[in-house]
Chain A
Amino acid sequence: MRRKLLVPELGGARAVILHRPHPTVQALARQLIAIGLAVDTHWPELEPAALAADYTFFDADMGYDAQFPWKPGAAPMPMIALLGSEAPGRIGWALSQGADAHLLKPVGDNGVYAALLIARHAFEARRTLASEIEALRARLADRQTVVRAVTLLIAEGHTEDAAYDQLRQRAMAGRETIEAAAHRVLARHKEDGHGRRRSS
């Protein structure tokens, strides 16, 4: 299915440009202002205030890791590389910074709007995937928890199928993952175990 392009709210959005003073910066700022964004220019380092920006445009020709107040690839906003040299080393470095889109220098009076939309789209897609992967990894790490919970339920007299089913139903009732339900089964068992030991 074709996904509808989400057009971001650009009126009043903030863009920072990390580039030495240059006509490219003027041309880029003009287009951003025409589109409705507020623009700040920095060089050679992005100040911490840039963390609040909605978009970062950065020079891929003279850029280096220490310019950014975040780790390479961990920018909290869409990143757009300003490419002059098309040497693979520079493109590779721009990608390592997490470039979501690029503009070729010299920047003229078109391409900026498309770069904003493409970068926003790529950034959101990347962020959604990253959080999905993180959630899946966490669930994967809990495989043993699920196995132990099922084993416990079997020990309480359920068949294997019924044990799984009960775990699934607990997860549904608690609106949580099956792994979270398994954690609670184990926790309850631990409490019960302690209780039994105290009472005996």
Chain B
Amino acid sequence: MAEVEARTDLPFRFRPVARDPAGNVDRYAPLCADILRTTGARHIVGCVTSWSRKEVIPVLERAGGALWYPCPYEGFEASEHVVYAHAAPNQHLLPLLGWAFTRFGRSGYLVGSNYIWGWEMNRVARDLLSDAGGSILGDRYLPLGDTDVSRIIAEIRATRPAFVLNSLIGPSSYRFLNAFADLGREDAHFTAATCPVLSCNLTECELTALGPVAEGLIAAGPYFRDPATAGAFGSSFEAAACDAVRTLAAKLAAGSPDADLATLLARPTERGLRIDPATQHAVLPVVIAQVRGGVFRPVARWEAVAPDPYLSRRTAAGTPTRPPLEVVS
């Protein structure tokens, strides 16, 4: 927003209004209503889970507001009141698994937190593995916050998958990754070269909490921080939120700022994200990166992957199967 404020060519100014639900899902809808009712703001950048996003959508519908959602999600939604600025499954999970199948094999162990993200990620992964003639060696869920990973580790040890798909979040994920690193010290099969842990929700935000056990983890996302670039974003969440603000500024500047969201998005603009008007999801690069030396290093990259939130164009042209750019290191 400071960048938009610093520009002198725009006929409007951005005034930040912040409300903090402190992660309490029941606070999102009232705070969203409060913003739209009392501050005059029409565009909200925020929410970090599908659960919180679904809480605010009815409020946006009633008050005519718009949400710019800056996090990856599991797809199967296309609200007229939401711009999806981060990746949908065809921009994270599909390319990640396609890439992993050819390098590590088609036997996967799937683990996730017991809510919509974990369920849907694992459902899509099961379908992809079945379609590819692979095998699903396990499919387990932990309640949010649960750190009892012993059974999962025992099953992984027994089934020796070619990769693990980790859709756990928070403390469950940290505990699991620590236990998996312990397993790797006992049996070298369970290390990144032969049985990597893949994730679509691992970003730079988690690296400090994970410490050395993050080494070798592989993640997919639209952006990873390049430490060699000055002023780089801390993570894809930051990048998506900033892109959302830039895109909003560009769309507002291209005509009347009071237009509704569909009209705004229909305006062709140079700056900011390319938003697919049919789904209001961003066209994004897909990057697969591995943690090496405490930093995400890109290993594969696709440019401008069109969104397909319902995975209905999966077999049609446009879904990447092989990256045009392979980063060899």
A7 at the interface (CB under 8 A from B): yes
In chain B, positions 306-329 with a C-beta closer than 8 Å to chain A are: 308-316
Chain B neighbourhood of A12, CB < 8 A: 313, 316
Closest-by-CB residue of B relative to A30 is: B80
Assess the B312–A33 pair: CB atoms within 8 A. no
B178 at the interface (CB under 8 A from A): no
Assess the B315–A11 pair: CB atoms within 8 A. yes
Assess the A36–B313 pair: CB atoms within 8 A. yes
Contact of A36 among B61, B127, B280, B308 (CB under 8 A): B308
Assess the A109–B315 pair: CB atoms within 8 A. no
A43 at the interface (CB under 8 A from B): no
- How far apart are B128's CB and chain A's nearest CB, in angstroms? 12
CA distance A33 to B309 in the complex (A): 12
Closest-by-CB residue of B relative to A108 is: B61
Q: How many A-B residue pairs have CB under 8 A?
A: 43
Please report whether the interface of chain B is mostly helix, strand, loop or mixed according to DSSP: loop
CA distance A157 to B249 in the complex (A): 94
CA distance A7 to B128 in the complex (A): 12
- C-beta contact mask, A4-33 vs B, less than 8 Å → 1, else 0? 000101111100000000000001001101
Contact of B78 among A7, A9, A31, A37 (CB under 8 A): A31
B226 at the interface (CB under 8 A from A): no
In chain A, positions 52-96 with a C-beta closer than 8 Å to chain B are: none
Chain A neighbourhood of B50, CB < 8 A: none
Closest-by-CB residue of A relative to B309 is: A34
Please report whether the interface of chain A is mostly helix, strand, loop or mixed according to DSSP: loop
Q: How many residues in B have their beta carbons less than 8 Å from beta carbons of A?
A: 20
Question: Do A113 and B76 contact each other (CB < 8 Å), given the known contacts A7-B127, A36-B308, A108-B61?
Answer: yes
CA distance A109 to B127 in the complex (A): 26
CA distance A34 to B278 in the complex (A): 5
- C-beta contact mask, B194-237 vs A, less than 8 Å → 1, else 0? 00000000000000000000000000000000000000000000
A35 at the interface (CB under 8 A from B): yes
CA distance A11 to B308 in the complex (A): 10
Closest-by-CB residue of B relative to A33 is: B278
CA distance A34 to B276 in the complex (A): 9
Assess the A9–B80 pair: CB atoms within 8 A. no
Chain A neighbourhood of B80, CB < 8 A: 27, 30, 109
B106 at the interface (CB under 8 A from A): no
Chain B neighbourhood of A7, CB < 8 A: 127, 311
Assess the A11–B316 pair: CB atoms within 8 A. yes
Closest-by-CB residue of B relative to A8 is: B312
A110 at the interface (CB under 8 A from B): yes
CA distance A109 to B78 in the complex (A): 7
Chain A neighbourhood of B278, CB < 8 A: 30, 33-34
A-B contacts, 5 of them at CB < 8 A, read: A34-B309, A34-B310, A35-B312, A36-B312, A36-B313
Chain A to chain B: the 4 pairs with minimum beta-carbon distance, closest first: A36-B312, A10-B312, A11-B312, A34-B78
Query: Interface residues, chain B, CB within 8 Å of chain A?
Result: 61, 76-81, 127, 278-280, 308-316
